[in-house]
């Protein structure tokens, strides 16, 4: 079992910083289980998140990737890997009829509407590096560590996944900028509450170790180690709570433990973060308070 996300020794072996999660911590192989990565940090037990624990999400096999936007081809965790595919696959898109066809089966017009952005001439306008959470600072993850999408139009967003780095803020930024890491979260929160955004919320970050969960969630990394409660500072909790409340507002997501989960709660993962010292009661109360300050 792996505690967090940084590769042990990646940013200096023996330096006391560890490294962020596994080399493929949430990736698809990079979005598969992350097994077999080099230099993994381990924890002795799998912490199931306490009374509010719920397993969320299932695995799903690879979907088509256009334009080389991130790796999306490896093994998936979950029970439906062998049977289901996301995306049009062999479907022929009938532009005139406004429907997609697989053999004699007609896919609903809503499905086509959800998939239209995949056509190479239909990219929606976007500004790379635009902040989704205005209080954050933009620091781009490498393109190999996420997959281009157009959420929530193509994949509805209804989960926030809480991670702990197993290392420093600087080491998290370093590995998420490295194409060999094949993983990144959308956000990284420092001990003083400062937030870096590394992947647009539009896009699918490889963070959960489960393709379906990656597609439906936003990942938030936190500086520190799961076995050091002193790393979870009041400032970090506050900064993270403001971020999560903002995400819940924008996606009309309930502020509860079904929708705000730990990495350990993702089905098929081998990670234990945020660990036994993450104070879920305190954190969720802070998120609720911050959400109450925001417009409906």
Give how far Cα 223 sits from Cα of 45, 165, 216, 248, 260, Å.
21, 5, 23, 22, 18
Domains observed in the chain: 1-84+129-296 (3.40.80.10)
Position with higher pLDDT, 65 vs 50: 50
Per DSSP (E only), the strands in the chain are 92-94, 99-102, 105-107, 137-138, 146-147, 159-162, 187-189, 195-197, 204-205, 217-222, 260-262
Confidence class for position 296, pLDDT limits 50, 70, 90: confident
Residue 30, judged by CB atoms within 10 A of its CB (0-12, 13-18, 19+), counts as: buried
Q: What is the pTM of this model?
A: 0.70
- Tokens, residue 131: 């902040």
Confidence class for position 218, pLDDT limits 50, 70, 90: very high
Closest listed residue to residue 217, CA positions, set 56, 104, 34? 56
- Condensed to tens digits (0 to 9), the pLDDT of residues 124-170 reads 788 888 999 999 999 999 999 999 999 999 999 999 999 999 999 99
- pLDDT reported for residue 108: 56
Q: Let me know: does 179 contact 24? Beta carbons within 8 Å.
A: no
Tell me if residue 113 falls in helix, strand or coil: helix
Q: Biggest alpha carbon distance in the chain?
A: 62
CA 176 to chain centre: 12
Position with higher pLDDT, 29 vs 289: 289
Per DSSP (E only), the strands in 51-118 are 92-94, 99-102, 105-107
Beta bridge partners of 162: 220, 262
How is residue 140 annotated by DSSP? P
Percent of the chain with pLDDT over 70: 59
Q: What is the mean pLDDT of residues 207-215?
A: 97
Position with higher pLDDT, 72 vs 140: 140
Interhelix angle 280-293/234-250, nearest 10 degrees: 50
Closest listed residue to residue 133, CA positions, set 175, 188, 170? 188
Q: Let me know: does 151 contact 201? Beta carbons within 8 Å.
A: yes
């Amino acid at each position: 079992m792996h505690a967090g996300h940084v590769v042990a020794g990646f940013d200096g072996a023996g330096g006391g910083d560890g490294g962020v999660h596994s080399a493929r911590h949430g990736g698809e192989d990079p979005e598969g289980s992350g097994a077999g990565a080099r230099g993994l940090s381990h924890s002795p037990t799998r912490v199931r998140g306490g009374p509010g624990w719920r397993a969320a999400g299932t695995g799903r096999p690879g979907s088509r990737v256009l334009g080389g936007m991130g790796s999306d081809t490896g093994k998936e965790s979950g029970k439906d890997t062998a049977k289901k595919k996301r995306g049009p696959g062999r479907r022929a898109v009938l532009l005139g009829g406004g429907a997609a066809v697989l053999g004699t089966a007609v896919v609903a017009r809503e499905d086509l509407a959800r998939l239209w952005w995949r056509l190479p001439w239909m990219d929606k306008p976007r500004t790379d590096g635009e902040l989704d959470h205005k209080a954050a600072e933009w620091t781009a993850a490498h393109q190999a560590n996420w997959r281009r999408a157009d959420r929530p139009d193509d994949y509805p967003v209804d989960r926030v996944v809480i991670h702990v780095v197993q290392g420093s803020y600087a080491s998290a930024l370093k590995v998420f900028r490295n194409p060999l890491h094949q993983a990144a979260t959308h956000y990284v929160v420092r001990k003083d509450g400062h937030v870096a955004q590394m992947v647009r919320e539009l896009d699918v970050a490889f963070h959960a170790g489960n393709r379906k969960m990656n597609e439906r969630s936003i990942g938030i990394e936190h500086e520190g180690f799961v076995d050091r409660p002193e790393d979870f500072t009041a400032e970090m909790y506050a900064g993270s709570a403001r971020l999560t409340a903002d995400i819940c507002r924008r996606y009309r997501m309930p502020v509860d433990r079904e929708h705000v989960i730990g990495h350990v709660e993702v089905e098929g993962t081998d990670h234990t973060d945020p660990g036994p010292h993450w104070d879920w009661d305190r954190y969720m109360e802070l998120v609720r308070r911050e959400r109450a300050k925001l417009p409906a």
